[in-house]
Structure 1
Amino acid sequence: MPNLPDVVLWSIPAFALLAVLEMVSYRFHPDEDELGYAAKDTGTSLGMGLGSLLFDAGWKIPIVAVHSALYELTPLRVPVLWWTVPLMLLAQDFCYYWQHRGHHVIRILWASHVVHHSSRHYNLSTALRQPWTGATSWVFYVPMILAGVHPAALAFCSSVNLVYQFWIHTERIGRLPRPFEYVLNTPSHHRVHHASQGGYLDRNFGGILILFDRLFGSFTAETARPVYGLTKNLSTYNPLRVATHEYVSIGRDLAAAGSWGDRVRHLIKGPGWQPGATDRPEGTPA
């Protein structure tokens, strides 16, 4: 297995430089239609990002152990070659699409991912607002492991996907030329994903590519200006509360539930589900 670079680690200086440049751009070229940066919000995003690095280091131990065990069980092997790496990146992006979509429509998974959507601002610091419970994603990549992709190669592909998504968290870039907008996940497409309007909810789940959204019916183009955040926004900048608020809400609902069936449904139904309510279709308010 060739040594693969730690893409995220090498990208940190670029993250910092680009965020500073974006802040400066708001200072010299303000736009009344763009929210820009707010000190408390940015501080929370940075705190969430630093916390995720620490917690992810711990989550990696059991995840790598499970992936490695599954890799040893399968007789298949995918070598790391110049032509297999693009195919692995494509497969990882496909798995990421379903992982991301699942984290929007299954409440116990949303409890982790909601952190990333909790800011009412949309700038490069928002990309750093990551959950502290990242152990909810590993199962979506089991097919790649069973197909013979080495866990280290999967980690590399996941890092590339994560790094790519940093630059699309901005209002400073408008729409790109049409061929790019059709194939790639762009700032315009991802602004829709972070919006809280009913027509924009649960749309544009892609990582690097937007093609899977077009293929599976979850694509929506940016038309009206997005309103960022949650359908019920938080009133705190405390990173611990931001990281855990939906788990606390789930705990309250489980305690108040009248049956074990309702307890299970509180976990696996979509955000906002309550006993007696119908399932919330994707793309409608919670």
Structure 2
Amino acid sequence: MPANLPDVVLWSVPAFVLLTVVEMVGYRLRPDEDAAGYEAKDAATSVTMGVGSLVFDALWKIPIVAVYAAVYELTPLRVPIAWWSLPLMLLAQDFFYYWSHRGHHVVRILWACHVVHHSSRKFNFTTALRQPWTSWSVWPFYLPLIALGVHPAALAFCSSANLVYQFWVHTERVGRLPRPVEWLFNTPSHHRVHHASQGGYLDRNFGGILIVWDRLFGSFTPETEPCVFGLTKNIDTYNPLRVATHEYVAIGRDLRAAHGWRERAGRLFRGPGWQPEVRARPAETGAAEPRAEQKPAKG
């Protein structure tokens, strides 16, 4: 990374630790019966997933950086790294983050990566650390930025800044903020909706720093009722390896049981709750028309 671009994640670690301790102490001194709060095993799993993601991300970055570097060398375009260009790059990165995040909710093989972040039934600052170990599925969404001349190191800086911003929105201790802030930015209220498992809240509020993308593209839902966190079908485990891989295991099981390549493709590329059409037997119904798709709970 160029010398003029700091490692924002590294610099933010002390703030992460301090805010987490403050939140924990706050729950101890002023318990909230309506909040999910903390659980030692859950928090430990989230922290372990976060530490593991640093290790695995370092491995995934080797081929990803190679691809980005190749595309950057091939494009004739160049975006300078300057005081005026960084805000524009942050804005562009946040736009592509929105589509990456949305894609990771609606395509099952991508959801297998992202489901890790939603697997906790708690919602606190340690939940922000519960990151996947298979982030190889994210990089294609940012190729347009590299092709437009954004240096890979500048993209890494913007992605890190986006990640750091999202740490503080993982809390139940912050209520609604003033209307202009809630309208423009992703806030704890908006992100609680995103992590909720109720039907009306599912697959909503994908924004990273800004919530305006959700407003523009029809995926915004305000917080109107208490959120129930976790998956619609929870995995009931604190084992980090199972947390990291459980959806891949489920996909493998479904692929083995699939009837034909069309169903296999659906199991990989349709939504997480997709099921193939079940054709009714003529002897049972008197007709051979297919039933409507069955969509079980996502999780």
In structure 1, the residue matched to 2:200 is 199
- Contact 1:190–1:204 (Cα < 8 Å) also in 2: yes
Counterpart CA distance in 2 for 1:285 and 1:260 is 23
How far off is 1:56 after superposition?
Answer: 0.4
In structure 2, list runs of 5 or more residues that go unmatched: 278-291
In structure 1, the residue matched to 2:189 is 188
Matches within 5 A, 1:118-129: 118-129=119-130
One-letter amino acid of the structure 2 residue matched with residue 241 of structure 1: R
In structure 2, the residue matched to 1:134 is 135
- Contact 1:196–1:227 (Cα < 8 Å) also in 2: yes
In structure 2, the residue matched to 1:146 is 147
How many matched pairs? 283
In structure 2, the residue matched to 1:225 is 226
In structure 1, list runs of 5 or more residues that go unmatched: none
Deviations, residues 140-196 of structure 1 (Å, cap 9, x unaligned): 000100000000000000000000000000000000000000000000000000000
Report the aligned-residue RMSD. 1.2
Counterpart CA distance in 2 for 1:171 and 1:2 is 37
How far off is 1:2 after superposition?
Answer: 5.0
In structure 1, the residue matched to 2:27 is 26
One-letter amino acid of the structure 1 residue matched with residue 269 of structure 2: I
How far off is 1:265 after superposition?
Answer: 1.1
In structure 1, the residue matched to 2:99 is 98
Larger CA Rg, structure 1 vs 2? 2
Helix, strand or coil for the counterpart of 1:36? coil
Deviations, residues 60-102 of structure 1 (Å, cap 9, x unaligned): 1111000010000000000011110000000000000000000
In structure 1, the residue matched to 2:157 is 156
Helix, strand or coil for the counterpart of 1:33? coil
How far off is 1:279 after superposition?
Answer: 8.2
The yes-or-no answer on 1:273 pairing with 2:288 is no
In structure 2, the residue matched to 1:171 is 172
In structure 2, the residue matched to 1:43 is 44
In structure 2, the residue matched to 1:82 is 83
How far off is 1:264 after superposition?
Answer: 1.1
- Contact 1:197–1:226 (Cα < 8 Å) also in 2: yes
Counterpart CA distance in 2 for 1:49 and 1:71 is 30
Counterpart CA distance in 2 for 1:269 and 1:198 is 18
Q: What fraction of aligned residue pairs are identical, expressed as a percent? A: 73
Helix, strand or coil for the counterpart of 1:80? coil
How far off is 1:285 after superposition?
Answer: 4.9
How far off is 1:278 after superposition?
Answer: 3.2
Helix, strand or coil for the counterpart of 1:225? coil
One-letter amino acid of the structure 2 residue matched with residue 179 of structure 1: P
For the structure 1 residues 112 and 196, does the alpha-carbon distance in structure 2 shift closer, same or farther, using more than 3 Å as the test?
same
One-letter amino acid of the structure 1 residue matched with residue 223 of structure 2: E
Counterpart CA distance in 1 for 2:182 and 2:236 is 35
Counterpart CA distance in 2 for 1:172 and 1:159 is 24
Counterpart CA distance in 1 for 2:58 and 2:141 is 19
- Contact 1:2–1:80 (Cα < 8 Å) also in 2: no
Matches within 5 A, 1:228-239: 228-239=229-240
Runs (4 or more) in structure 1 with deviation over 6 Å come to none
Counterpart CA distance in 1 for 2:69 and 2:260 is 38
Counterpart CA distance in 2 for 1:172 and 1:235 is 25
How far off is 1:3 after superposition?
Answer: 3.2
Counterpart CA distance in 2 for 1:278 and 1:222 is 30
- Contact 2:276–2:294 (Cα < 8 Å) also in 1: no
How far off is 1:275 after superposition?
Answer: 1.3
TM-score, normalising length from structure 2?
A: 0.93
- Contact 2:233–2:297 (Cα < 8 Å) also in 1: no
One-letter amino acid of the structure 1 residue matched with residue 191 of structure 2: H
One-letter amino acid of the structure 2 residue matched with residue 220 of structure 1: T
